[in-house]
Amino acid sequence: MNFLTPAFILDVGLLAMLVVVAFAVVRLRSLFAIVMLQGVYSLISAAWFVSLDAVDVAFTEAAVGAGISTVLMLGAMLLTEREVKPVPMRRQWAPLFIVVITGMAMFYAIGDMPVFGDPNSIANATLGVEYVEATKSQIIIPNVVSAVLASYRGYDTFGETVVVFVAGLGIVLLLGLNGNAGKWRAKPNGQDVSQIGAEDAS
Amino acid sequence: MTMVFEHFNFAVVIVLMMTGLFAVFASHNMIKKLVGLSVFQTSVFLLYISLSKVTGGRPPVLSKKELHGYGDSYAKAGDGADAAYKTVEKTAEIIYSNPLPHVLILTAIVVGVATLAIGLALVVRTREEYGSIEEDEIDAYNYQDNLEGVSR
């Protein structure tokens, strides 16, 4: 099998960009840069979805992941802080250990995954093909993803809209609708709480 | 060596996932934690979508010839768009990538943004209450609170 096709080179290039962006997110300390790089990460993964034939997912990821998420995070950042305080090195060894162990366990399981692009793998050979065949005669619209999303699995999509509604409701209950989100400060005993903590630290 | 190339995508996706997980575990800033969670989540989407790819497949959008009776009244308007398909249709059966993981991930993206919004609202509320979004500063304040019993 020939691996040096243009599609494979594009694949490798996009994945390399994703790795660089993800590492930069971990290393950086400016919150603005971190939030914007998260948008870049979503946009690159959307490009990768196009190269993997998932055009609908790419569309949604570019609109929702790179668009709305970035706007939400920028809003939250403007209401809170702009800089990340450095984490001392001794506090990073335990997370690194956990992550390396988890990653090694997943690498161990990689041999059980189907070969990339295999049409006869158990994931690709069964239900997906049936949905494509059924859409031709039952739903009769060109986009199979829309047919499955809105018709065969319509209840899932209904549940998804309920989740979005509940999330919106939760945000309103947390922050209120009076436009003062992030501006209110708790002052027990007439003293700013951040000052109380600072006295103890010094 | 062939096995390395066959599972190349999965290996890189695992590295990306673990990078996101590290950002969740190791950072004390809550917004950076949420960005790490977002990176982790997007990497899981990459894993699912790379499972659904079929070599030589096309996006799961059917051509007009395959749909019995679709868009007969639009035949004129659709001619230009279908010109690209004609070369493919003359050959044998068209292969499509698996649409089912696409549907699952579409749902997951939207639900992911909903949970992210809730998380960010909690961060903004925490900042109102504590004046900080760094976890160790909040811990220090809570410790002080328990020690001296600062009344709210």
pLDDT given at position B22: 95
Q: DSSP class of residue A119?
A: T
Query: How many residues are listed for chain A in this entry?
Result: 202
Structural domain boundaries in chain B: 1-53+99-152
Contact A81 B150 (CB under 8 A): no
Contact A153 B103 (CB under 8 A): yes
pLDDT given at position B17: 95
Low-confidence ranges of chain A (pLDDT < 50): 200-202
How would residue B8 be classed by pLDDT, with cut points 50, 70 and 90? Answer: confident
Separation of CA B93 from chain center = 31
Residues 2-61, chain A: which have Cβ within 8 Å of B? 3, 11-12, 15, 18-19, 22-23, 25-26, 31, 34-35, 38, 41-42, 45, 48-49, 52-57, 60-61
C-alpha to C-alpha distance for A143 and A146, rounded to whole angstroms = 5
The dihedrals phi and psi of A167, each to the nearest 5 degrees, come to -65, -45
Contact B42 A65 (CB under 8 A): yes
Partner-chain residue, chosen from B8, B14, B124, that has the shortest CB–CB distance to A181: B124
Residues 78-107, chain A: which have Cβ within 8 Å of B? 79-81, 84-85, 87, 91-92, 94-96, 98-100, 102-103, 106-107
Is A109 in CB contact (< 8 Å) with chain B? Answer: no
Residues 128-147, chain A: which have Cβ within 8 Å of B? 128-129, 131-132, 135-137, 140-145
Contact B121 A77 (CB under 8 A): no
Instruction: Note the pLDDT tens digit of each residue in B25-36.
Output: 999 999 999 999
Contact B107 A157 (CB under 8 A): yes
pLDDT given at position A94: 94
Look at residue A45 and give its three-state secondary structure.
helix
C-alpha to C-alpha distance for A119 and B96, rounded to whole angstroms = 9
C-alpha to C-alpha distance for B123 and B31, rounded to whole angstroms = 7
The dihedrals phi and psi of B70, each to the nearest 5 degrees, come to -85, 135
First to last CA, chain B: 64
The dihedrals phi and psi of A195, each to the nearest 5 degrees, come to -70, -35
Partner-chain residue, chosen from A113, A136, A148, that has the shortest CB–CB distance to B103: A148
C-alpha to C-alpha distance for A91 and B78, rounded to whole angstroms = 61
Q: DSSP class of residue A188?
A: G
C-alpha to C-alpha distance for A91 and A84, rounded to whole angstroms = 15
pLDDT given at position A178: 77
Look at residue B17 and give its three-state secondary structure.
helix
- A vs B, Cβ pairs < 8 A, gives 332
pLDDT given at position A104: 94
pLDDT given at position A202: 43
Winning range, highest mean pLDDT, from A108-112, B108-112, B139-143 = B108-112
Q: Which has the minimum average pLDDT: A2-11, B108-117, B119-128? A: A2-11
C-alpha to C-alpha distance for A183 and B94, rounded to whole angstroms = 58
Instruction: Note the pLDDT tens digit of each residue in B60-79.
Output: 988 877 776 665 555 554 45
Global confidence as pTM: 0.85
Domains of chain A listed by start with CATH number:
1-113 (1.20.120.1200)
Q: Which ipTM did the prediction report?
A: 0.87
pLDDT given at position A30: 93
pLDDT given at position B9: 87
pLDDT given at position B4: 67
* B1-53+99-152 CATH pick, 1.10.357.10, 1.10.287.3510, 3.90.550.10, 3.40.50.10190: 1.10.287.3510
CA distance, residue B110 to nearest chain A CA (Å): 7
How would residue B92 be classed by pLDDT, with cut points 50, 70 and 90? Answer: low
C-alpha to C-alpha distance for A157 and A135, rounded to whole angstroms = 18
pLDDT given at position A187: 65
Question: pLDDT over 70 for what percent of chain B?
Answer: 78
Three-point CA angle B143, B144, B147, nearest 5°: 85
Partner-chain residue, chosen from A98, A144, A201, that has the shortest CB–CB distance to B99: A144
Contact A197 B27 (CB under 8 A): no
C-alpha to C-alpha distance for A12 and B53, rounded to whole angstroms = 15
